[in-house]
Amino acid sequence: MKKGTKLLMALGMACVFASGYAQVKPTVEIGAETRMGYNRESVDGDKLNGKSGIKGNYLNLRLDGTLNSYFSYSWRQRLNKGISDSNFFDATDWIYLNYQADKHWGIAAGKQIVLIGGYEYDRAPIDVFMASEYWNNIACYQFGGSVTYTTSKGNDKLTAQFCESPFHNDQHSDLFAYNLFWMGNHGPISTLYSVNLMEYAPKKYISYLALGNQLSLGNACLQLDFMNRAAAHQPYFFRDCSVMAELSCYCHPKLEVYAKATYDVNRTDVAADLCVLPGTELTSFGGGINFYPLKAQKNSVRLHASAAYVTGTNGNPSGALTDKHLRVNVGLTWKLHLLSYGK
């Protein structure tokens, strides 16, 4: 039995006895979401045929609800992603059970989002049209457990998480990650900060300092992320890092425009960063528009157009971003509410 499954069962049983079986009517909400459109990708003017054309990008099923006044759950399944013979959960983004003891303390276990700071990282993949090299290479859903403390006002949450390392593989399945995460919301300023220790090989670790900052003023929003990565035997700051910045504005209640830039660099000679490899220095910039035709249900339907251009060097020959890489996408996203029970 996988370590993540054992942890889920153990924490679940402990919470059942602690809750005293509080009797509140269960609830459930079921939804689906998909994104499709026309992609055009080229490198130095040469079209990438395998990545161009009309394509479906995501098809997700979402299930959320409560069991009683203490327990809640969430499950998101990708229906367009394959499942290997060795792991049935390959296509499961997350599936976890949460026990909320009181307004301050909560415990969750199952397959979760690995808690790494930053607004680009935090955004759902279906809502990302251009991203950093780091974002394109991190396996951000893993089995584990977490404990969250929420302040009395509810505007700060501090979470400690222990989970599988994003870098575990068939040869080394017992690699782990230790994450401390702070989510803050203070008027126009919000934060997603973390410190992380990731095992990338047996008893070898890379540390993260991830600082996600958001400033919201009226119809405009600025998101600025900085992530520093370091391992033993290398300088700690700025040699291996990523910066992501996005400025968005609603020119009309139904129309959003945005501009975005990312920068990934790894000037180390230590093969510890498995997302942004040594020898990488990449800059991408671009932007787009989002149109929401249904004002009453804004996020239900979205028409989008985006373009991004990449320049620089990628130390990974199989990396997501390459020099003189142009990406254009025009398409449609819709998110459907299928069923509710108990509300």
The pLDDT > 70 percentage for the chain reads 92
Q: How confident is the model at residue 1 (pLDDT cuts 50, 70, 90)?
A: very low
Q: What is the mean pLDDT of residues 31-42?
A: 96
For 235-259, give the DSSP string. Answer: -SSSSEEEEEEEEEEEEETTEEEEE
Dihedral pair phi/psi, residue 84, rounded to 5° = -80, 165
The pLDDT tens digits for 101-158 are: 999 999 999 999 999 999 999 999 999 999 999 999 999 999 999 999 999 999 999 9
Cα separation of 232 and 242, whole Å? Answer: 19
The pLDDT > 90 percentage for the chain reads 81
Q: What is the mean pLDDT of residues 23-42?
A: 92
Out of 16-20, 46-50, 261-265, 316-320, which region has the weakest mean confidence (pLDDT)? 16-20
The pLDDT tens digits for 195-249 are: 999 999 999 999 999 999 999 999 999 999 999 999 987 778 899 999 999 999 9
Q: How confident is the model at residue 23 (pLDDT cuts 50, 70, 90)?
A: low
Average pLDDT, the chain: 91
Cα separation of 305 and 326, whole Å? Answer: 14
Query: DSSP character for 175?
Result: -
pLDDT in the model for residue 69:
92
Out of 8-12, 165-169, 236-240, which region has the weakest mean confidence (pLDDT)? 8-12
Out of 19-28, 60-69, 258-267, 319-328, which region has the weakest mean confidence (pLDDT)? 19-28
Whether residue 7 is predicted with pLDDT greater than 70 in this model: the reply is no
Q: What is the mean pLDDT of residues 243-261?
A: 96
Cα separation of 239 and 243, whole Å? Answer: 12
Q: How confident is the model at residue 16 (pLDDT cuts 50, 70, 90)?
A: very low
Whether residue 20 is predicted with pLDDT greater than 80 in this model: the reply is no
Task: Tell me the CATH class for 24-61+114-137+153-341.
Answer: mainly beta
Amino acid at site 155: N
